[in-house]
Structure 1
Amino acid sequence: MRISTVTMFESSLSSMNRQQGEFMKVGQQIASGRRVVNPSDDPQAASRAVGVSQSMAVSQQYADARVSARNALSQEESVLNSVSDSIASAKTLIVQAGNGTLTDADRASIATELKGIYENLLGQANVTNGNGTYLFGGYKDDAPPFVKNGGEVTYQGSTNVRAQQVDSSRQMPVGNSGKEIFESVHSGAGYVATADAANSGSVIFTGPTRVNAADPGYGEKYTIQFTDGENYQILDEDDNPIKLDRDDNGTPEDTFSYTSGETITFAGISINLEGKPAANDEIALAKAPDRSLFTTLENAIAALDSTTETDAAKASLQNTLSTVSRELDNSLDNVLTVRASVGARLNELDVLDDVGGNRTLNYEQTMSDLVDLDYARAISDYTLRQVGLQASQKAFVDIQGMSLFDQL
């Protein structure tokens, strides 16, 4: 078979170009650090790498969301810490105001301090974050959630709060509404007693105290009503007198004699009464209702700014302070409960960060296995391709010199 000179040249050139292409491909892999530079290098690995890359991007978005959620919750936790300190300070002032040796001027001074705490709490309730949105407004975070109208503070925010997707299966609330913090009590709050504003006697109460929460009547609303200065009845929610066998003689009664300083126990609760009642004086007892912290402080300030020239006025002041003290305790417990919830969410974010970090490491390992370069093998291939290219070039030079004309 006759092989033409053109065929030899074309075959040698084709071989040299092929060797050069393979040499450049290995060089490109080494330069990029990737085994799969183009999808055609390994279509299956390239296809799987696209899916892993998308999963890594989603995981990174969740990580960014957790950073945002952590910033919001950390700021809320800081504010709640200040709120709890303010409530504790108010409680201290209320205890101080209950000292019977204080004058009206002394109590007015305490009221001034309470007004400062009141304004401080209002400012904390309307705090904004770094973006200018109100922290405790819920969905309505573009305006102050607590507005003062006619001396009363009302909540005008939303009861729903924003949530953030911090993981594939976890949507986490990144805040709490102002109503939940400043206008609620925790579920375990007990009874609160309140003296009727129209009372004209000098009865002062202490308590109430929970005795037996399993009592069938525990949790209902009751009213202690004095029929005169010596007798009283206990009315249920429908104003019907309840009957008790207080003397354990087997004969329930609905009217009882009053003795100053006695402790009345019924329906799983007890309350101590002291002083001289007047006819139709009433003391209401009910499970702690949702009460605005600002309303509680407003009642305390109004009571401390009033005069105590009569025994009835003194009793009214002491009863108001007792009610306010119990309500402040409930408010503080509620704030601490919300704060604990914030702390639990921050801890959960830490756990999700660990899980997300491990997941990202797995994605990176999978991606490396699919497309990253084995440098030892690549350098060996690079040297081999270089030798092959040099051999191809040398063969081409030799063939180029093979001509019969050189023999003439």
Structure 2
Amino acid sequence: MRISTLTMFDSRLTAMNRQQSDFLKVGQQMATGRRVVSPSDDPQAASRAVGVSQSLAVTQQYSDSRVSARNAMSQEESVLNSVSKAVTSAKTLIIQASNDTLSNADRTSVASQLRGIYESLQGMANTTDGNGSYLFGGIKDNAPPFVEDGGKITYKGADTVRHQQVDASRQMAVGDSGQKVFSGVHSGADYVADATTSAPSTLRFSGPHTADASNAEYGDSFTLEITSYNAGTGEFGYDLTNQTSGSTSSKTGNIGDPVKFGGISMTLEGTPAVGDRLDVSRGKDQSLFSTLENALNVLESPAETPTGKAQLDNTLSTVSRQLDNSLDNVLTTRASVGARLNELDELDNISSNRSLNYKSTLSDLVDLDYSKAVSDYSLRQVGLQASQKAFVDVKNMSLFQML
């Protein structure tokens, strides 16, 4: 077969261009550090790399979401810590105000300190995060959740709280509603008794205390109303109404002796009057602000009569028990926030391992093996030089040189 000079030139030029293309390709891989520079280099690896890159980006997005959630909950935990300290201080003042040696002026001084705590708690309850959202307003952000109206602070926020997707299968609450924090009572709360008396009654009570938690009525709410009183014997009659079942029974008791019902026990003292009533409940929602408002009202009002002094003692006893329940509720909420923060740390650890696996897989698919690349670079360089030398040799071949 006869091969023309043009064919030889074209063949050598094609071979040289191919060697130059391979040489430049290896050089580009070394410059970028990637084995797969374009999808055509390895279509299957490139396709898998797109999926792994997307998974890695989603994992990073969840990581950023956890940072945002952690910042919000860390701030909430800090505020709840301040709230618990304020409630503890309020309880100390209530105990101090219960001292019988204090005068009306002394109790007014205590009330002044208590009002400072009351106002500071309102500020804590209306705390905002760095983005202007209220920590305890739920999903409502356009107004403060706790508003003073007629000398009373009421909750105007939402009961629904914001949730954030912190992992593929985990949506976490990044806040707590003010209703839950400042008005909620946890399931293990103690019984609280509210006394309703009028002159000339000097009825006082101590308790209530748990006497028999196995009682079938334990956990119900009760109303105890005085129906008779014998000053000579100290015996009194009362109607006991189970507010849960609606049943009423008439019983008798003696001043100074424990009165037991529904698995609880309390002691009545002083001189009761017909119509005096005690409302006894467990786990009933009680606003922290209304508790302090009741304490302020009674401390700022002079207790000049025996009836007034008895009402003061009863109110402070109730407030003290309610503050204990409120503090337990705040601490329970704070523990819940801490548990969620711990969960975020665990999710970070899992996410870190997952990201490492994704990056390792991505590296296996598209990253360059530099040892092999350097060897290929040298080999392609030799091939290109050989191709160029062969082209020069072919170009210089001519029959006219033989003449």
The TM-score with structure 1 as length reference comes to 0.95
Alignment match of 2:259 (pick from 254, 257, 264): 264
CA contact 1:135–1:141 (8 Å) conserved in 2: no
What corresponds to 1:340 in structure 2?
335
Rounded Cα–Cα distance in structure 2 between residues aligned with 1:263 and 1:394 = 115
What corresponds to 1:160 in structure 2?
160
Task: Give RMSD over aligned pairs.
Answer: 1.3
What corresponds to 1:233 in structure 2?
238
Cα separation, partners in 2 of 1:240 and 1:35, compared to 1, 3 Å: closer
Q: Is the partner of 2:220 in helix, strand or coil?
A: coil
Alignment match of 1:255 (pick from 251, 255, 260): 251
Cα separation, partners in 2 of 1:154 and 1:257, compared to 1, 3 Å: closer
Deviations 1:253-293 (A, max 9, x none): x331423x222122200012221222222222122310111
Q: Is the partner of 1:143 in helix, strand or coil?
A: coil
**1:297-336 counterparts in 2 under 5 A?**
297-336=292-331
How many pairs are equivalent? 396
How far off its partner does 1:406 sit? 2.2
Q: Is the partner of 2:212 in helix, strand or coil?
A: coil
What corresponds to 1:249 in structure 2?
none
CA contact 2:253–2:259 (8 Å) conserved in 1: no
**1:6-405 counterparts in 2 under 5 A?**
6-198=6-198, 200-230=200-230, 231-237=236-242, 241-242=248-249, 254-259=250-255, 261-405=256-400
CA contact 2:107–2:299 (8 Å) conserved in 1: yes
In structure 2, list runs of 5 or more residues that go unmatched. Answer: 231-235
CA contact 2:240–2:251 (8 Å) conserved in 1: no
CA contact 1:226–1:279 (8 Å) conserved in 2: yes
How far off its partner does 1:363 sit? 0.3
Rounded Cα–Cα distance in structure 2 between residues aligned with 1:324 and 1:232 = 27
Cα separation, partners in 2 of 1:324 and 1:199, compared to 1, 3 Å: farther
In structure 1, list runs of 5 or more residues that go unmatched. Answer: 243-253
Rounded Cα–Cα distance in structure 2 between residues aligned with 1:192 and 1:79 = 27
Rounded Cα–Cα distance in structure 2 between residues aligned with 1:6 and 1:256 = 128
How far off its partner does 1:200 sit? 3.4
Rounded Cα–Cα distance in structure 1 between residues aligned with 2:96 and 2:158 = 36
Q: Tell me whether 215-224 or 32-41 shows the greater mean CA deviation.
A: 215-224
AA paired with 1:87? V
Deviations 1:142-189 (A, max 9, x none): 210011111011111100001000001000000001101011111111
AA paired with 1:278? A
Cα separation, partners in 2 of 1:406 and 1:266, compared to 1, 3 Å: same
Deviations 1:167-225 (A, max 9, x none): 01000000001101011111111211111043631121111001122201212222232
Rounded Cα–Cα distance in structure 2 between residues aligned with 1:156 and 1:147 = 7
Q: Is the partner of 2:285 in helix, strand or coil?
A: coil
Cα separation, partners in 2 of 1:176 and 1:257, compared to 1, 3 Å: closer
Deviations 1:87-146 (A, max 9, x none): 000000000000000000000000000100000000000011111111111111221001
Cα separation, partners in 2 of 1:377 and 1:240, compared to 1, 3 Å: closer
How far off its partner does 1:240 sit? 5.6
AA paired with 1:237? N
Q: Is the partner of 2:147 in helix, strand or coil?
A: strand
Rounded Cα–Cα distance in structure 2 between residues aligned with 1:156 and 1:214 = 39
Rounded Cα–Cα distance in structure 1 between residues aligned with 2:156 and 2:291 = 18
CA contact 2:185–2:286 (8 Å) conserved in 1: yes
What corresponds to 1:246 in structure 2?
none
Rounded Cα–Cα distance in structure 1 between residues aligned with 2:251 and 2:362 = 83
Q: Is the partner of 1:171 in helix, strand or coil?
A: strand
Cα separation, partners in 2 of 1:199 and 1:291, compared to 1, 3 Å: farther
CA contact 2:224–2:241 (8 Å) conserved in 1: no
How much identity, in percent, do the aligned residues show? 62
Cα separation, partners in 2 of 1:257 and 1:43, compared to 1, 3 Å: closer
Rounded Cα–Cα distance in structure 1 between residues aligned with 2:240 and 2:221 = 9
CA contact 1:217–1:268 (8 Å) conserved in 2: yes
Q: Is the partner of 1:228 in helix, strand or coil?
A: strand
How far off its partner does 1:232 sit? 2.1
Q: Tell me whether 69-78 or 205-214 shows the greater mean CA deviation.
A: 205-214
AA paired with 1:162? R
